[in-house]
Amino acid sequence: EPEVTQTPSHQVTQMGQEVILRCVPISNHLYFYWYRQILGQKVEFLVSFYNNEISEKSEIFDDQFSVERPDGSNFTLKIRSTKLEDSAMYFCASRVGRTVYGYTFGSGTRLTVV
Amino acid sequence: GENVEQHPSTLSVQEGDSAVIKCTYSDSASNYFPWYKQELGKGPQLIIDIRSNVGEKKDQRIAVTLNKTAKHFSLHITETQPEDSAVYFCAAPYNNNDMRFGAGTRLTVKP
């Protein structure tokens, strides 16, 4: 079964450093997402991406965050200057069509900011 | 925007008993309601979903019911097993684009 692949599974970084989280969505999917889950809390929407541009972003997704699809397969989330409160699980998701059906999540990257 | 409330936050049942988790949503235009199971260290996995044109959907031991008038939907797990222990999230679409999640229910099935 097709999967959304995320790397690395765990990233530890120092406060103030830049991190890039990587995702390979399912190949025929057109809509891409990043979600965040702080330990023990709900999954929160960060940003959606379609046709090489951001289609929607939440209030969490401030100027420290950016997304990119640098080639035909990768979808990245960059945090420019990490803060302690950025520590969380980050999930990439993708779906194929214009409806919301068929969301598939990756297994996540645990980001720890020290 | 869509606001999803989920109850209870924790649920403990004996193996073989049933478990019910409930969610309410705010946007009457929402038409798709998935349930996700999240095991430790993994991403949310879709286990069942329902579209607004039906009131109930069943898949073996799992069922989801939807009441559009009251704007709530529920997950029912029958004959629970220890491997059902996980965190379960309901969700509803926002702007027909992204998903808004409930706060999650930690289900523990005691053998």
Q: Is A61 on the interface with B (CB under 8 A)?
A: no
Q: According to the model, what pLDDT value does residue B73 have?
A: 96
Average pLDDT of chain A, as a whole number: 92
The lowest-confidence range among A80-89, B69-78, B90-99 is B90-99
Q: Is A49 on the interface with B (CB under 8 A)?
A: no
Q: Is B89 on the interface with A (CB under 8 A)?
A: yes
Candidates A6, A9, A11; CA nearest to A114 is A11
Q: According to the model, what pLDDT value does residue B5 have?
A: 94
Tens of pLDDT, residue by residue over A58-87, are 999 999 999 999 887 899 999 999 999 999
Of B41 and A7, more confident: A7
Of A46 and B28, more confident: A46
Tens of pLDDT, residue by residue over B13-65, are 999 999 999 999 998 888 899 999 999 888 889 999 998 888 999 999 999 99
Distance from CA of A58 to the nearest CA of B (A): 10
Q: Is A101 on the interface with B (CB under 8 A)?
A: yes
Of A28 and A80, more confident: A80
Q: Which two tokens stand for residue B29?
A: 């235009």
Maximum CA pair distance of chain B? 42
Helix (H, G, I), strand (E, B), or coil: what is residue B82?
Answer: helix
- The DSSP call for residue A86 is G
Considering chain B, what percentage of its residues have pLDDT values greater than 90?
A: 76
Q: According to the model, what pLDDT value does residue A98 have?
A: 66
Chain B environment of A105 (Cβ under 8 Å): 36, 43-45
Considering chain B, what percentage of its residues have pLDDT values greater than 70?
A: 99
Per-residue pLDDT band for B1 (boundaries 50, 70, 90) equals low
Of B2 and A47, more confident: A47
**Candidates B41, B97, B103; nearest CB to A100:** B97
Subunit contact A104:B44, Cβ cutoff 8 A:
no
Q: Is the Cβ–Cβ distance between B46 and B56 less than 8 Å?
A: no
Average pLDDT over residues A1-17: 93
